[in-house]
Every structure is written in C-alpha cells, then in structure tokens.
C-alpha cells in the first residue's frame, strides 16, 4: 500500500493537511509519496488529479481510494482501515 499526496507549494490547504497525512502514514508504516503537481503535471493528469490537495491510495499500483480536499484524520484512518493498512 502506498499513499500519494498531490500538492502544490502555493496551496495553503495542502500545507495544513500534510502533517495529518504524514502522521497517519508514519503511525501505520504506510509509504507516502508527496507529489508537487507543478513539477509533475503529466503524472497528476494521468492520475486524474484536477485539484489539490488530493490523496490517492494504491495497492499493487491500482488506485483503491481517491479523494480531493481536506478531510479529517479519522476519515483517512477509516479509509486505510477498509483497505487494510
């Protein structure tokens, strides 16, 4: 399982939500990749990312969770629980 966190340097919500995503991933031993959409626009488009922040959880390279915007720590934890992480 891997969490992809799509963000941008200019995005205030991205900066506010990042510590939550980092903490949850660290506590659960889940790999986290931070992807700047300005530096990786083709990859972001290929992942159907149209706004930031966006969290995508992959299992064996398949996206099993995709959500944009800020959401609660509990919602992130519940999503990972459902996936098995």
pTM of the predicted model as reported, rounded to 2 decimal places: 0.95
Write down the catalytic residue from 4, 8, 11, 37. 11
For residue 25, indicate whether it is catalytic: no
pLDDT in tens, 29-55: 999 999 999 999 999 999 999 999 999
C-alpha dihedral sign at 64, 70, 71, 74: positive
- How far apart are the C-alpha atoms of 3 and 51, rounded to whole Å? 16
Number of structural domains the chain divides into: 1
14 has catalytic annotation: yes
CATH number of the domain encompassing residue 75: 3.40.30.10
Task: Say which of 3, 4, 7, 14 is annotated catalytic.
Answer: 14
Q: Provide the residue range defining the domain that includes 25.
A: 2-83
């Amino acid at each position: 399982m891997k969490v992809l966190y799509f963000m941008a340097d200019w995005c205030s919500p991205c900066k506010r939500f990042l510590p939550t995503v980092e903490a949850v991933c660290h506590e659960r031993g889940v790999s986290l990749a931070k992807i700047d959409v300005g530096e990786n626009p083709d990859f972001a488009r290929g992942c159907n990312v149209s706004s930031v922040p966006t969290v995508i959880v992959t299992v064996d390279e398949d996206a099993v969770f995709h959500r944009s915007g800020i959401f609660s720590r509990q919602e992130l934890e519940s999503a990972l629980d459902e996936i098995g992480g």
